[in-house]
Amino acid sequence: MSIHSAQNFDGWAADYDRDVRQSDADESFPFAGYTRVLDAVVRLAEARLGMSLLDLGSGTGNLAARFAALGCAVAGADFSAEMLARARVHVPAARFVQVDLLGGWPPELNRRFDRVASTYMFHEFDLPAKIRLLRRLADGHLAPGGRIVIGDIGFPDAPAQDAARRRWADRWDEEFYWIADEAVPALRAAGLEVSYWQISACGCALLVTPAP
């Protein structure tokens, strides 16, 4: 289940990077720690020159740019045409496609990648949809020895999320944010190895791999 449409993000595309920079700078919801979250994703991915990487929810291409700079062959996917138009200008070396990640995928994405990475996208989906997408990635799109790395909005537990909701009541948008003490056991029960790190008051990183 997702609660936003591509049109929501098409309308946000022109202001997205400005909003991210402001929220990151003043440590406010929802992008407090944004730069540190992206740093963590790149570090945890351990990507190297020549690796193939799938960037899910590419937005304007901020994460894709980091992996392209490392010499990865980057494929990006997003459901917003306007976001992707900006990503193509931002990261001309990457190949971007428009796709509903919970639906059918185009042929160019129906392959295996050394790494799958995503930032600020998975909170669009409820926990069952998160698990289904991660299982789909692990089973059909991850090369042997590969890893999935996620940076997103998340909290260690429900009380921490409740505190954030009160703290940022004027900014809060009710979405499916990660709650680690609920999500981690559910992912492990679905046959996935997962580690979770809290990066900022509302930013997190996850490393997901198929269970041996």
Which stretches of the chain score pLDDT less than 50? Answer: 1-3
Domain 6-210: give its CATH architecture: 3-Layer(aba) Sandwich (3.40)
CA–CA dist 150, 134 (Å, integer): 10
pLDDT confidence of residue 4: 54
CA angle 157, 127, 194 (to 5 degrees): 70
Rounded (10°) angle between helices 34-45 and 6-25 = 100
pLDDT confidence of residue 196: 98
CA–CA dist 202, 20 (Å, integer): 13
> Which of 195, 59, 187, 199 has the alpha carbon at shortest distance from 118?
59
pLDDT confidence of residue 2: 45
Write out pLDDT tens, residues 85-97.
999 999 999 999 9
And the tokens for 145?
């020895």
CA–CA dist 62, 121 (Å, integer): 13
pLDDT confidence of residue 9: 84
